[in-house]
Chain A
Amino acid sequence: MGVYLRPRALDEALESLAGRALTPLAGGTDVYPAHAHQAAWNGAPDIDILDISALDELRGIVEDEAGWRLGALTTWSEAIEAVASGRLPACFEGLARAARTVGGVQIQNRGTLAGNLCNASPAADGVPPLLSLDAEVELASLAGRRRLPLAEFVLGNRQTARRADELLVALHVPRPQPWAHATFLKLGARRYLVISIVMVAAVLEAADGRVARARVAVGSCSAAAQRLAALEAALVGQPCDGSLADAVEPAHLAVLSPIDDVRGSAGYRQEAALTLVRRALNELDGHRREAAA
């Protein structure tokens, strides 16, 4: 039988991680189904667990000049609530929408954003919106702290740059330009509680009726979600006049490498990604025109 630790202070947690390999446990919504499944229902996971859910230092959302810091224990429900109450601005709308499609209310109440990133499923719904926000992860160990752009953290299917002695302690999102809106579109067999076939997240920043910056990420179409850098470059300076979606060319999606699986063929995913990217831009273009009118 394995070890179970539930420290109340981060230092204590980091100390135990430095000594031995332990599986961090936050909301448990990935850990339990994965392990309980094998051991049949009653055999709770026989792994060495570091339960981080009592670390109050990992809770809360704070804002400063540079942007926002979301503690690693921020749940999907807390993110939804923060956007709904205006504590997080419109550029987080894509993240909130993604949150509402994750697993049903009870999973949203327990599951954390950081757990979603650390689990690094190619279909993780949190990755595209956070990539499109240029989020960074803050990692802590006894050796100190470091920050990594999310794109350098999630490396592939179930692979991250986290060392075994590190905990993800917070997400940092830099402040965008004053007019910034975001969206998230997900294609699944139904809207909720399914593994996504394709998802698209976009953040549009506009000034003087033109695109100042566009950030577009696609998930479930490669081992780790990808930003579409070529498309982002092509969008800068385009007028927000209802034609933004026309700027999207199939070649802009060449970085994707979708696979065939039970949920859809590679060709279908590529096609669906193109359609969703166009829809996302069209929607944000529409927001911009409404704001201008």
Chain B
Amino acid sequence: MLTVTMTVNGQKVAKDVDPRTLLVQFLREQLNLTGTHVGCDTSQCGACVVLVDGKSMKACTMLAAQADGCEVTTIEGLAKNGELHPMQAAFKEHHGLQCGFCTPGMIISAVDLLQQNPDPSEHEIREWLEGNICRCTGYHNIVKAIQHAAQDMRS
């Protein structure tokens, strides 16, 4: 067993884990943060994307131990004081989801995109989402939602 300490959604946590615990397992099974999904076993789908020290990463390609000392933000950490994050609000408003399975990863990836590029073109959005797979929406409304969120967040 190994003790890992990190800040998850603003709260400090310290837990003993089997060193091989993937970050995504740690979040879901130890912290009960089941908003971070698991959609594949090949690190392709992007359902598990979280922010680690502000950057989007696939939580299934890293161990909890590798996030030791880091700040982690999951989908549960985006809303503030009961108010949806503008990206969440835009996904809701513009129907950026159907079954919702890919949505947490999509939203976190999109939040990272806007941190780096507050005014992305449609092409830049689609390129950025290359590592997030959605089997329902055809991506159209996801792109639209991100464009609107970008507008809202700039104004």
Contacts and interface: CB of A to CB of B under 8 A. Distances in A.
A4 B19 contact: yes
Nearest to A104: B131
Contact of A4 (B2, B61, B62): B2
Nearest to A42: B25
B98 interface: no
Nearest to B40: A41
A32 B62 CA distance: 8
Interface stretch (A57-65, A105-113, A226-234, A271-279): A105-113
Interface in B31-83: 38, 40-44, 46, 49, 55-58, 60-63, 65-66
Contacts of B109: 105-106
A104 B61 CA distance: 13
Interface residues of A, number: 30
A33 B130 contact: no
A164 to B, nearest CB: 21
A268 interface: no
Contact of B58 (A37, A45, A106, A193): A106
A29 interface: yes
B42 A51 contact: no
| Count class of interface residues, chain B | 20 to 34
B6 interface: no
Given A41-B41, A193-B44, A53 B66 contact: yes
B21 interface: yes
Consensus secondary structure, chain B interface: mixed
B16 interface: no
Nearest to A36: B41
A77 B58 CA distance: 14
B57 A106 contact: yes
A116 to B, nearest CB: 14
Among B21, B60, B128, B130, chain A packs the most CB atoms within 10 A around the CB of B130
Contact of B130 (A40, A109, A193): A193
B20 interface: yes
B73 to A, nearest CB: 14
B131 A107 contact: yes
B112 interface: yes
Contacts of A46: 20
Contacts of A1: 20
Given A4-B2, A110-B62, A33 B127 contact: no
Contact of B63 (A28, A29, A33, A42): A28
A236 B145 CA distance: 52
A41 B38 contact: yes
Contacts of B25: 42, 44
A104 B57 contact: no
A37 B130 contact: no
9 nearest A-B residue pairs (beta carbon): A104-B131, A4-B19, A44-B20, A41-B41, A192-B130, A104-B130, A106-B58, A33-B42, A33-B43
Given A4-B2, A40-B41, A104-B46, 9 more contacts: A28-B61, A36-B22, A36-B60, A105-B109, A107-B58, A109-B55, A110-B58, A110-B62, A192-B127
